[in-house]
Amino acid sequence: MSEGWVWQDEQGRGYAIPEGYEPKNSGRCGTKTRPGCGRIVAWCRTPKGKMSPVNPNGTSHWSTCEMAASFRKPQQEQEQPPWPTEQR
pLDDT tens digits, 2-16:
467 899 988 999 999
Please report the pLDDT score of residue 84 as a whole number: 66
Q: How far is CA 5 from the centre of its chain?
A: 19
User: How far apart, in whole angstroms, are the C-alpha atoms of residue 83 and residue 16?
Assistant: 54
pLDDT in tens, 31-64: 778 788 999 999 999 999 999 999 999 999 989 9
CA atoms 44, 19, 55, 8: torsion sign: negative
Name the residue ranges covered by the structural domains of the chain: 4-71
What does the pLDDT average to over 19-30?
Answer: 92
Please report the pLDDT score of residue 71 as a whole number: 78
Please report the pLDDT score of residue 88 as a whole number: 57
